[in-house]
Amino acid sequence: MLRRFSPVLAAVLVLVPGLTSPAQATQDSSPPPPSTFTAEPDGDALLAQGQFLQAIQAYSRLPVDADTLNKIGVAWHHLSAVNNAKRNYEEALLLRPEYPEAINNLGSAYFVERNYREALRLYQRAFALDPQSAIIAANLGTAYFAEDKAKAGLEAYRTAWSLDPSVLDFDPTSMIEGATPKRIRARRDYSLAKVFAEQKVDERALDYLRRAMAEGFRDWRRLMRDPAFAQLRETPEFAKFMMGV
């Protein structure tokens, strides 16, 4: 699903409760026997496979509830029909006001529209309802950086790592793109490099340093003095990285 989207850090993640993973959807793509066929699993498989219009049609055959409206919103969201997505998220929240997945996804819609302040407010609300969600914590970090609040963004990314380290790989199958200025992306990429360096994941730290450099990072003195990179600076890989700068 969504393999055409690159895992850039200008992206935020959407939440689809109960959705089959893309790998599972590929393995289980054959239709079930007619006696067991229902519209919702079909919609989930279509959504996981990136067939968004077909998923919307399948979900539309179901009785209206908050989960289904949220999934329809996600499908519209990936089609870049952000107004349609927002309407479905908002309708889901009318039925279930304290629904963290829909609140998160509504925040992601505002993020795509570059209304970062509203996106941040919604992510904060969603995380207050679900403080164990690594995805929402990662989105909080992204929104903090978009609002030029680097310290809070770094702490949110650290929280996301503590909840689920894999979330900071920004799986492209669950992301929606939203542009932010290069200056902010450079600061965010540098901060993500710090998170990985602190956890001694050197390859990922160097990857994010390269991304920061591509976005315009040039504060080499800061890099050479930052205690988060103390161990990384002692490695041959870091020396090779600096030789290529």
Encode pLDDT of 65-100 as tens digits: 999 999 999 999 999 999 999 999 999 999 999 999
**Of all helices (H) and strands (E), which one includes residue 159?**
helix 150-163
Confidence class for position 173, pLDDT limits 50, 70, 90: low
Confidence class for position 22, pLDDT limits 50, 70, 90: very low
**Of all helices (H) and strands (E), which one includes residue 42?**
helix 39-48
Which superfamily is assigned to 1-180 in CATH?
Answer: Tetratricopeptide repeat domain (1.25.40.10)
| Residue 181, SS3 per DSSP | coil
First to last CA, the chain: 35
Encode pLDDT of 182-213 as tens digits: 888 899 899 999 999 999 999 999 999 999 99
Per-domain residue ranges for the chain? 1-180, 181-245
Prediction pTM value: 0.82
Amino acid, single-letter form, for residue 117: R
Using the predicted structure, report yes or no on whether residue 115 has a pLDDT greater than 60.
yes
